[in-house]
Amino acid sequence: MHGFAVALQPEHLLLALIGCTVGTLVGALPGLGPVNGVALMIPLAFNFGLAPTAALILLVSVYYGCMYGGRISSIVLNIPGDEPAMMTTLDGYPMARAGRGGEALGLSAVASFVGATIATIGLTLFAPLLVTVAIRFGPAEYFALFMLAFATIGGVTSGSFTKSFIAACLGLLLGTVGIDPVSSVARYTFGWYELYDGIDYLVALIGLFAISECLLFLERDQHQRVAPMQLGSAVPGMRQSLSCASTIGRGSVIGFIAGVLPGAGASLGSFLSYVLEKRWWGSKGRFGSGDPRGVAAPESGNNAAAGGALIPMLSLGIPGSGTTAILLALLLSMNITPGPLLFEQQPEMVWGLVAALFIGNVMLLVLNIPLVGLFAKVLQAPSWFLMPMVVLVAFVGVYSLNNSPFDLYMMLAFGVLGYVLRKLEIPTVPVVLGLLLGGQMEFNLRRAMAITGGDWSILWSSGISIGIYLFAITLLVAGLIYAWLVKQRLE
């Protein structure tokens, strides 16, 4: 109830509404997705001097809004707004081609609402339970957790495990730049005092995602026009959701579990929800040719996974997805350390955020039903208008962080790095995870070594550590099997 008192403040309600609207628009743009949407809004949050609670409500609203919006381009254009929305194209676009686009959008909005709401309820119930376990963690146990996150790094993206591993190692290398946490010796700063505090997470994020995306846009055909499509009414889709209630329920549970697992995220939640639902119905379904259940299952799955990914981020400081890695960067930059003590030291922020998620879900449902046509028309805006706006927001926002031209140069350097990585089909999200988690991983390793005088056995001396290592190995093997199954499916 105290959380709702915080979330219902006029300022927080306005920020939630702005975040939901912007997130839906950004999510609808092909290729941007929640990672870019949240990364672009972080500089604005700092520029307007928002308090941590207000900034987190804004960005998480953008996060949820992007998960909603990703389905729009999937259904209307057969172009996923992001990776989790890929499965929605299989049945959503055939429905749109058959003149049932509005029905598909309405059904997906309801499925997204139910999935996100179930995930938020799960966050309310299970995050405090996870905290009671996390309080018993020492430096060795936290090091094991970071090993768990990196062991499952391949599940964050749809690329190969080898390339994801290379990207994670690059992020770890970048994370060593700055002052050594124990000896206070400057490392890899090349005499630049601006690097003594390390590489700024936010500058790297905006460069890797927003600037690299603009560079990629310069390569594409700027004169492509999208043929308009008659969407129709969304009301039939809302009625159709009643007949898909069991599908939405199963997809929500599967997606929530996938979201809680570090490194799994919404992509796995969407894929599993669709595949298992297709197996459930067998020959009785028309999956792949416009079956409404093929829209309801992945949409409920990916939105439930989005909420589930917040649990390890808030409770353990381990991001469950690429977007929660960016939210982790925001909290760290505000001197707030996610973990078991967060619920005790910042209860108004945690429960205010949870209450804002419930409110934001209702806002998104109300926005997405009557404004379906408006959001879809944004997809037809020319890129020569959209991309300069992205660059403008990036430059102004990054400069406002520290009023430093050096940050602008760093942002451009990371933009070029992100462009090269994406041309080589090396995912950028593991780079972010390595940069974010590398410092804390090294710090906990050094603390564990200091406690025992260099005895490595402390890393596996407790039952919690052994359990985490076994879980990491299980997820690693499961991820390799999953990648093999996907490869076989594509062949």
Task: Work out whether the CA dihedral 439, 160, 216, 63 comes out positive or negative.
Answer: negative
| Confidence tier at 155 by pLDDT (50, 70, 90) | very low
Evaluate if residue 75 carries a pLDDT over 90. no
> Do residues 92 and 104 touch, judged by C-beta distance below 8 A?
yes
CA distance 306 to 129: 19
CA distance 141 to 247: 38
Residue 187 DSSP symbol: E
| Confidence tier at 115 by pLDDT (50, 70, 90) | confident
Q: In the prediction, which pLDDT does 158 show?
A: 47
Using alpha carbons, select from 442, 426, 425 the residue that is nearest to residue 166.
Answer: 426
H/E stretch holding 299 reads helix 293-308
Q: Which of 5-19, 114-128, 147-161 has the lowest mean pLDDT?
A: 147-161
Phi, psi values for residue 180, rounded to 5°: -60, 130
Residue 181 DSSP symbol: T
Give tens-digit pLDDT for 364-394. Answer: 888 777 766 665 555 555 667 767 776 877 7
CA distance 265 to 321: 5
Q: In the prediction, which pLDDT does 156 show?
A: 45
Phi, psi values for residue 346, rounded to 5°: -130, 55
Q: Which of 21-25, 245-249, 311-315, 318-322 has the lowest mean pLDDT?
A: 318-322
Q: Which of 9-23, 99-113, 237-251 has the lowest mean pLDDT?
A: 237-251
Q: In the prediction, which pLDDT does 226 show?
A: 44
| Confidence tier at 210 by pLDDT (50, 70, 90) | confident
CA 283 to the chain's CA centroid: 34
Judged by DSSP in three states, 69 sits in: helix
Evaluate if residue 360 carries a pLDDT over 80. yes
Give tens-digit pLDDT for 406-432. Answer: 989 998 999 999 999 988 888 777 787
How many Cα neighbours within 13 Å face the side chain of 191? Answer: 0
Give tens-digit pLDDT for 436-453. Answer: 778 878 888 888 888 888
> Do residues 338 and 328 touch, judged by C-beta distance below 8 A?
yes
The residue ranking higher by pLDDT, 228 or 250, is 250
Q: Which two tokens stand for residue 196?
A: 């003594």
Count of helices and strands (H, E) across the chain: 23, 2
Judged by DSSP in three states, 338 sits in: coil
Evaluate if residue 85 carries a pLDDT over 60. yes
| Confidence tier at 236 by pLDDT (50, 70, 90) | low
Q: In the prediction, which pLDDT does 141 show?
A: 83
H/E stretch holding 178 reads strand 178-179
- The contacts of residue 20 (CB under 8 Å, 6+ apart) are 61, 62, 64, 65, 68, 360, 363, 364, 367
CA distance 403 to 256: 40
Highest mean pLDDT among 18-22, 32-36, 236-240, 253-257: 18-22
| Site of tokens 């000896």 | 183
CA distance 59 to 65: 10
Evaluate if residue 107 carries a pLDDT over 50. yes
> Do residues 268 and 482 touch, judged by C-beta distance below 8 A?
yes
Q: In the prediction, which pLDDT does 225 show?
A: 47
Using alpha carbons, select from 293, 300, 277, 271 the residue that is nearest to residue 111.
Answer: 300
How many Cα neighbours within 13 Å face the side chain of 401? Answer: 26
Q: Is 165 exposed, middle or buried (0-12, 13-18, 19+ CB in 10 A)?
A: middle
Residue 153 DSSP symbol: G
The residue ranking higher by pLDDT, 410 or 86, is 410
Evaluate if residue 291 carries a pLDDT over 70. yes
Q: In the prediction, which pLDDT does 447 show?
A: 86
Q: What percent of the chain has pLDDT over 90?
A: 3
Q: In the prediction, which pLDDT does 417 show?
A: 93
For the chain, the C-alpha Rg in angstroms (whole number) is 22
* Count of Cβ atoms closer than 10 Å to residue 372 Cβ: 25
| Confidence tier at 195 by pLDDT (50, 70, 90) | confident
* Count of Cβ atoms closer than 10 Å to residue 153 Cβ: 25
Give the distance between the most distant pair of CA atoms in the chain: 70
Q: Is 445 left (phi over 0), alpha (psi -120 to 50) or beta?
A: alpha
H/E stretch holding 245 reads helix 245-260
Give the E-state strand segments of 276-356 in sequence order: none
Q: In the prediction, which pLDDT does 383 show?
A: 62
The mean predicted confidence, pLDDT, of the chain is: 77
* Count of Cβ atoms closer than 10 Å to residue 139 Cβ: 18
Q: In the prediction, which pLDDT does 414 show?
A: 92
Q: What percent of the chain has pLDDT over 70?
A: 79
Q: In the prediction, which pLDDT does 190 show?
A: 86
Evaluate if residue 490 carries a pLDDT over 70. no
Inter-CA distances, 476 with 149, 255, 264, 441, 481, Å? 10, 19, 11, 19, 9
CA distance 429 to 35: 9
The residue ranking higher by pLDDT, 192 or 130, is 192
Residue type, 384: W
Q: In the prediction, which pLDDT does 268 show?
A: 65
Judged by DSSP in three states, 85 sits in: helix
H/E stretch holding 308 reads helix 293-308
